[in-house]
Amino acid sequence: MLFLQLLLNGLQVGAIYALTAAGFALIFGATKIFHVAHGTAFTIAGYVFLFAWRAGWPGWAGAAAAVLAAMAFGVAMERYVYRPIQRHEGSFFTVFVAAFGVGIVVQNVIGMIAGRGFATVDTPLSFSAEILPDVFVAPMLWISLATAAVLFIALTVFLTRHPAGVGLRALSQNPDLVRTYGLSSNGLSVLAFAIGSALAAPAAIVTVMTTGLNEAIGHQVMLISIAATIVGGIGSLRGAALAGMMLGIAESLALQFVDTQWAEAVSFLVLFGFIIFRPSGIFGVVQTR
Amino acid sequence: MSPASTDGLKRPGQAQAPAIQALGLTAGFGGRDVLQDVSLTLNDGEILCLIGHNGAGKSTLLRVLFGLHRPSAGTLRVFGEQPGQHSPAAMGAAGVALVPEGRGVFPDLTVEEIFGLALWSAGVPKSGQRERVDEVLDVLPRIKEFRTRRAGTLSGGQQQMVSIGRALLTRPRVLLLDEPSIGLAPKLFQDLIRPIAALRESRGMAILLVEQNVREAFAVSDRVLVMRSGKFIFEGAPSELDDHAKLMELF
């Protein structure tokens, strides 16, 4: 039964990883910007929800505020950090250090405001009930899985049916040609950051309501997102989501053999395995730029 | 070249203002001027062929005319009006479309997705989209055979057809074509260019055609400009360059 319990826990963690990884992969795929501050959008969304909850806001209002905050952060990063760097033809390392720096600043500001250490909210949704002998599940598990599934389907429909979504796919293939079509590559880039960052918010909210979060959680989220993007195959959104789910389950199942504090390393062992044996990832696509 | 010295073939009903009038355009990259004080007039309903060596500045000129590259000096008017901004969106709104060099399609998108993207970017409402697509399919009927396929799986000629079809969806009054014959057999290029050239008659569309494939391009053109090192060095009727020696001398 321990296996089933860990698998179910893994599904919940996996849903969180899948959503954040899909957001990171969407941004990276469309804009080719290695958005290291993606974890910061997660942290901001989580704390906005936490503060809203503590201020007595209804859950839906807190969730909406969290989504908006994540989107605003992502768009601001694109507009005020990445775009000026790219305009001056800054290198990959400039982008990396700038984004990492923003992450550290936000982490410290949140630490100053909210205090250090784990914070969580109490909700009946995270109270577990015994569904089988020795197997406990909280409603939050089903909510997380349903949210991840619905958002992923919505994202897929958007990218294949809506012209703006098709525009994002076009941007990932040839930004210069996008301009020839009369479209604004800057506008599409902002859209990619808005949607990609918004995807981190539901994952952050689930985290606040279950395990809780601290101001440094963004780094872990970012590392997992990168690992999932590589394992899934760079350029593949469903690959990133599937890999995120897989890493969540792997981390949880590893608890059968190792202590909690080592679980995170399992994701990276999986990543190394892929780098050695299948470097193109699950759905590796050949980039045609 | 004097900007006023361009009279092509005047047609009844031709608008007074030229389709494109560029004065003193200078543009370049990294401090090096690729275009030097270039002036050009493209009359409404005219097909103007622009030829020249690689690196003469032809593609840069088209990119400047479409708002993709900002000139350091000069003015640009489309049908007598100065576009509000020097951007592809503003040029598109003014009725200009560019078919870029190479394959102007996104390899992972289907032909239908590419057309949908073009219609969306041109702000065509859903209700009018069908009519626009049918118009293009009338001009380039072979596109019907591969509408649902990904552009990357199409042949060079088919991709070029899609690229031109995409530009026609915006109902341009000025079409800028950058070396559409690259990689195509001469017969294929003829099949492609003739229906486009015919649009000049039916819709009064002006076409600026950049080409290396001189023989085929001259067959449909009203006037020829030869460019060298960022300047025009010849302007005249295609028949004036029938003499092979003269053409070689200019090149």
The ipTM is 0.85
Place of tokens 């795929």: A29
Please tell me the predicted confidence (pLDDT) of residue A2: 85
Please tell me the predicted confidence (pLDDT) of residue B5: 39
CA–CA distance, B174 with B206 (Å, rounded to integer): 5
CA–CA distance, A110 with A98 (Å, rounded to integer): 18
Residues 6 or more apart whose Cβ sits within 8 Å of residue A103? A36, A37, A39, A40, A218, A219, A222
- A260 domain residue, yes or no: no
Please tell me the predicted confidence (pLDDT) of residue B251: 64
| Cα distances (Å, whole numbers) of residue A72 to A195, A198, A220, B176 | 10, 9, 21, 39
- A235 domain residue, yes or no: no
Please tell me the predicted confidence (pLDDT) of residue A285: 54
- A255 domain residue, yes or no: no
Is residue B83's pLDDT more than 50? Answer: yes
Residue of B170, B159, B161 whose CA lies nearest to B135: B170
**What is the percent of chain B where pLDDT is above 90?**
49
- A269 domain residue, yes or no: no
Name which of A47-61, A67-81, B8-22, B96-110 the model is least confident about: B8-22
Residues 6 or more apart whose Cβ sits within 8 Å of residue B241? B214, B218, B224, B226, B234, B247, B250
- What is the CATH code for B45-63+87-250? 3.40.50.300
Spell out the domain ranges in chain B. 45-63+87-250
Domain that holds residue A58: 2-219
User: Quick one: CA dihedral B126, B130, B131, B134, positive or negative?
Assistant: positive
CA–CA distance, B161 with B156 (Å, rounded to integer): 9
**Which tens digit of pLDDT belongs to each residue from B152-199?**
999 988 999 999 999 999 999 999 999 988 878 888 888 888 888 888
Please tell me the predicted confidence (pLDDT) of residue A200: 96
Classified as helix, coil or strand, B102 is coil
CA distance A41 to chain B (A): 30
- A109 domain residue, yes or no: yes
- A264 domain residue, yes or no: no
Classified as helix, coil or strand, B69 is coil
Domain count for chain A, please give it: 1
- A282 domain residue, yes or no: no
Interface test with A, best of B60, B65, B117, B177 (most A CBs within 10 A): B117
Residue of A148, A143, A146, A183 whose CA lies nearest to A166: A183
Classified as helix, coil or strand, B75 is strand
CA distance B46 to chain A (A): 23
Interface test with B, best of A89, A161, A178, A180 (most B CBs within 10 A): A180
The reply to whether residue B104 touches residue A288, judged by beta carbons under 8 angstroms, is no
Question: What does the angle CA B64 – CA B65 – CA B71 come to, to the nearest 5 degrees?
Answer: 35
Please, which pLDDT band fits residue B124 given cuts at 50, 70 and 90? very high
Nearest to B108 among A180, A181, A288 (CB): A288
Please, which pLDDT band fits residue B248 given cuts at 50, 70 and 90? low
The reply to whether residue B117 touches residue A182, judged by beta carbons under 8 angstroms, is no
Considering A30-34, A283-287, B50-54, B247-251, the range whose residues carry the highest mean pLDDT is A30-34
Are the CB atoms for B92 and B108 separated by under 8 Å? no
Please tell me the predicted confidence (pLDDT) of residue B249: 65
Of residues A172 and B14, more confidence is placed in A172
Is residue B93's pLDDT more than 80? Answer: yes
- Residue A82: count other Cβ atoms within 10 Å of its Cβ: 23
Q: What is the DSSP string of chain A?
A: -HHHHHHHHHHHHHHHHHHHHHHHHHHHHHH----TTHHHHHHHHHHHHHHHHHTT--HHHHHHHHHHHHHHHHHHHIIIIIHHHHHTT--HHHHHHHHHHHHHHHHHHHHHHH-SS-B----GGG--EEEETTEEE-HHHHHHHHHHHHHHHHHHHHHHHSHHHHHHHHHHH-HHHHHHTT--HHHHHHHHHHHHHHTHHHHHHHHHHTT-B-TTHHHHHHHHHHHHHHHH-TT-HHHHHHHHHHHHHHHHHGGGTS-GGGHHHHHHHHHHHHHHH-TT-TT------
**Which tens digit of pLDDT belongs to each residue from B198-244?**
888 888 899 999 988 888 888 889 999 999 888 888 888 888 877 66
**What mean pLDDT do residues B7-23 have?**
66
Nearest to A180 among B98, B108, B119 (CB): B98
Q: Tens place of pLDDT for every residue, chain A, 289 residues?
A: 788 999 999 999 999 999 999 999 999 999 999 999 999 999 999 999 999 999 999 999 999 999 999 999 999 999 999 999 988 877 888 999 999 999 999 999 999 998 888 888 888 887 888 888 888 888 889 999 999 999 999 999 999 999 999 999 999 999 989 999 989 999 999 999 999 999 999 999 999 998 889 988 988 889 988 999 988 887 788 899 999 999 999 989 988 888 877 877 888 888 888 888 888 888 865 443 3
E strands in chain B: 20-29, 32-42, 47-52, 73-78, 96-99, 174-178, 206-210, 223-228, 231-236
Place of tokens 């296996």: A3
**What mean pLDDT do residues B125-142 have?**
93
CA distance B104 to chain A (A): 7
| Cα distances (Å, whole numbers) of residue A106 to A110, A201, B193 | 6, 16, 58
